Amino acid sequence: MGTHISRVPMKFIFGKPVDEPFDRENEIKQLVEMMNRRQPVAIIGVRRIGKTSVILKSLKIIETPKVYLSVEDFIEGKSFDLVSFLSLYSSLLITNTLNYVDPKRKISQIVKQKGKELLDKLRELIGYVKLSFNINLVEVEVFLNSVKRGGVKESIPQVLELPERLAEEFGLNTIVVAIDEFQYLKLASQNYPGIFHLLRSKWQFHNKVSYVISGSSVGLLEKIFYDKKEPFYQFFFPIYVKQFDKNTSFNFLKQGFRDEGKDYEDNALLLAIEELDGIPAWLNYFGLKSLQCNEVTSECAKKVIEDITFNDPIVRGIIQEEYNKLGKNARIILKYLAEKGGKGDLKGLELSRASINEGLKSLLGSGYIVKEERGKYAIIDPVIVKVLKSSTQII
């Protein structure tokens, strides 16, 4: 008789963060540890690698009030809706703190019982901010007043104090604030110059708040805290989320197919790993699509990968959308590298030196390529390479 460790059967999932990230125990443990000691952390890694999954799982583990927001949800075209962002930020902070302090009771009951006292407290906490409350059964909704010119700008500093004030007020050791796709806050600096300076100037004095930021724009984020001239210089402890190595990818697919009750050939899995290069989202997608085969044979794997490369509207849609967001020079360079098989130099590319530099800077900043050696670059995501290479439509 051996010991039987029960575990939740693994399911291939594509498109949303996963509840039980495979093989990310170390990253999660480290993040929870950092949050507990209130060390600011940056979670860095390219798209589809599992950053959000790691953050959400860690937030689930840590027993403090916590808020999670993704800046990406507040982007409209090339601008950023700071008022909505800060309104949701305040609402979540207040709601989650109240729920934490008194988990058994609905917020409306808390308000009813403590009523005036509580509202006064909240007003006092964010007193200078022009805002209104909507308190219903389960949440407190805060509306910032943006009617007056400059009104919101003046209230940002107070809103940024909110987590620290709440922690003090309710005698809490830690409140966790996680902000995903943080680099997009740069867009806010068009309307609110100095927003990063302001954040740093507040966050560095908060003793009761754990700040976690994250993002896919690897180069941009690294600049934010490795560059002496940047306000967040040396502020964050970085945790990198990387591709699965070959062994982990193999075990991931193996366990997935086993738990799905699907027979497979080892060679089929090796083939997929070779083609998809340890990016968890694509491994899941491969897994899901392969469920159509009676058995996951090499032939099945080849067919599925071909299908992903040439025919799949979802994959095409994702890559087209990301491609559209890039500037013209970046697009030309990315396509050029894809046609070369994903890596190489840029000799023969008909672009001016200045345009090449601009395009490279953008691609490196947004985490689509890495510099391999002098003058040589490589696209990180093998599926981007395949789709761009095979497509005459994506331009």
Ligand X SMILES: Nc1ncnc2c1ncn2[C@@H]1O[C@H](COP(=O)(O)OP(=O)(O)O)[C@@H](O)[C@H]1O
Q: Which residues bind Mg ion (CB under 5 A)?
A: 52
Name the residue nearer to ligand X (CB basis): 22 or 74.
22
Name the residue nearer to ligand X (CB basis): 53 or 329.
53
Taking CB within 5 to 8 Å according to partner kind, which of Mg ion, ligand X, none is near residue 85? none
What distance in Å separates the CA atoms of residue 94 and residue 256, rounded to the nearest whole number?
Answer: 40
Could you write out the three-class secondary structure of the chain?
Answer: CCCCCCCCCCCCCCCCCCCCCCCCHHHHHHHHHHHHCCCCEEEECCCCCCHHHHHHHHHHHCCCCEEEEEHHHHEECCEECHHHHHHHHHHHHHHHHHHHHCCCCCHHHHHHHHHHHHHHHHHHHCCCCCEEEEECCCCEEEEECCCCCCHHHHHHHHHHHHHHHHHHHCCCCCEEEEEECHHHHHHHHHHCCCHHHHHHHHHCCCCCEEEEEEECCHHHHHHHHHCCCCCCCCCCEEEECCCCCHHHHHHHHHHHHHHHCCCECHHHHHHHHHHHCCCHHHHHHHHHHHCCCCCECHHHHHHHHHHHHHCCHHHHHHHHHHHHHCCHHHHHHHHHHHHCCCEECCCCCCCCHHHHHHHHHHHHHCCCEEEEECCEEEECCHHHHHHHHHCCCCC
Taking CB within 5 to 8 Å according to partner kind, which of ligand X, Mg ion, none is near residue 304? none
Among 28, 40, 42, 48, the residue binding ligand X under the rule CB under 6 A is: 48
Note whether 340 binds ligand X by CB under 6 A: no
Name the residue nearer to Mg ion (CB basis): 71 or 135.
71
Taking CB within 5 to 8 Å according to partner kind, which of ligand X, Mg ion, none is near residue 231? none
Note whether 7 binds ligand X by CB under 6 A: no
- How many residues touch ligand X under the rule CB under 6 A: the total is 20
Contact 287/257 with Cβ under 8 angstroms?
yes
Closest separation between CB of residue 256 and ligand X, Å?
9
Name the residue nearer to ligand X (CB basis): 49 or 296.
49
Among 40, 45, 163, 219, the residue binding ligand X under the rule CB under 6 A is: 45
Closest separation between CB of residue 58 and ligand X, Å?
12
Name the residue nearer to Mg ion (CB basis): 52 or 174.
52
Name the residue nearer to Mg ion (CB basis): 52 or 362.
52
Note whether 16 binds ligand X by CB under 6 A: yes
Note whether 53 binds ligand X by CB under 6 A: yes
Near ligand X in 278-337, by CB under 6 A? 280-281, 284
Note whether 13 binds ligand X by CB under 6 A: yes
Note whether 51 binds ligand X by CB under 6 A: yes
Note whether 151 binds ligand X by CB under 6 A: no
Name the residue nearer to Mg ion (CB basis): 85 or 336.
85
Closest separation between CB of residue 386 and ligand X, Å?
18
Enumerate binding residues for ligand X (CB under 6 A).
13-18, 21-22, 24, 45, 47-53, 280-281, 284
